[in-house]
């Protein structure tokens, strides 16, 4: 394992990943770079490379639901800053990213110079967001607080619930005993104050934007 500081770019579009990597190598040549194209490869990369110092995260990748990947990374690696890179730069999307724990938000339309400045600002311990007109949402703040109570494994189970999987299917997907899944589901519903699996699935759907999250 290399001790060099590392940046991870998670985006399912190869051409955009290449463009971001080019900016990183021009502006931050001292950093190594890693790539991920899905929620699964993102999780594996973070597990395999504890030296990652920053994640650049697209909102729309296979295995994600809106802000679910952001919340998952923030829950599992609370000290690791995450910067969202998205073509959906609606003020409410930017505000929600901030409330759900992102350290920055870079529109995909931003020039390379702004992208470099944003990444450097976050690496220096700050944050970087475009000007926003959307007001802070107390509902989003409450949702983020409720989801923060879940363990990483419970969050994975919750995403499976949102996909309509039965306990047996969740157990097979996550490599767990079916009884363990039942225990997790009970805990999830209690922590989220949900009365049913359907209600929990609706809560996960609220992580998506009203008009869908584009990459």
CB 103 within 8 A of CB 125: no
Rounded to whole angstroms, the Cα distance separating 150 from 152 reads 6
- pLDDT tens string 105-115: 999 888 888 88
Q: What residue ranges define each of the domains in the chain, with the CATH number in brackets?
A: 6-124 (3.40.50.2300), 150-208 (1.10.10.10)
Q: Residues 149-191: pLDDT tens digits?
A: 888 889 889 989 888 899 999 999 999 999 999 999 999 999 9
Q: In this structure, what are the phi and psi dihedrals at residue 72, rounded to the nearest 5 degrees?
A: -65, -45
The answer on pLDDT for 3 being more than 60 is no
* Rounded Cα gap, residues 150 and 208, in angstroms: 19
Q: Where are the alpha helices (DSSP H) in 7-111?
A: 14-27, 39-48, 68-76, 91-99
Show the DSSP H helices in 49-137 as ranges. 68-76, 91-99, 112-123
**pLDDT category, 215, cuts 50, 70, 90?**
very low
Task: Give yes or no for a contact between 184 and 178, defined as CB atoms under 8 angstroms apart.
Answer: no
Contact, 115 vs 133, CB < 8 A?
Answer: no
Looking at the predicted structure, is the pLDDT value of residue 129 above 80? yes
Tokens 């309509």 label which residue? 164
What is the reported pLDDT for 213? 41
């Amino acid at each position: 394992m290399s001790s060099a500081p590392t940046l991870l770019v998670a985006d399912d579009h190869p051409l955009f990943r290449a463009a971001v990597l080019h900016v990183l190598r021009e502006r931050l040549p001292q950093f190594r770079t890693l790539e991920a194209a899905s929620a699964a490869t993102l999780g594996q990369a973070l597990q395999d490379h504890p030296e990652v110092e920053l994640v650049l995260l697209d909102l729309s990748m296979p295995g994600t639901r809106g802000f679910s990947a952001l919340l998952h990374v923030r829950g599992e690696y609370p000290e690791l800053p995450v910067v969202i890179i998205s073509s959906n730069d609606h003020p409410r999307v930017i505000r929600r990213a901030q409330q759900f724990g992102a350290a920055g938000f870079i529109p995909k339309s931003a020039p390379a110079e702004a992208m470099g400045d944003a990444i450097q600002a976050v690496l220096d311990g700050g944050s970087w967001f475009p000007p926003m007109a959307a007001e802070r949402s107390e509902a989003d703040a409450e949702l983020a607080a409720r989801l923060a109570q879940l363990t990483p494994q419970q969050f994975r189970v919750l995403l499976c619930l949102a996909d309509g999987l039965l306990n047996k299917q969740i157990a097979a997907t996550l490599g767990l005993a079916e009884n363990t899944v039942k225990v997790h589901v009970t805990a999830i519903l209690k922590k989220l104050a949900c009365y049913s699996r359907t209600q929990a699935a609706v809560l996960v759907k609220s992580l998506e934007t009203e008009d869908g999250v584009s990459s």
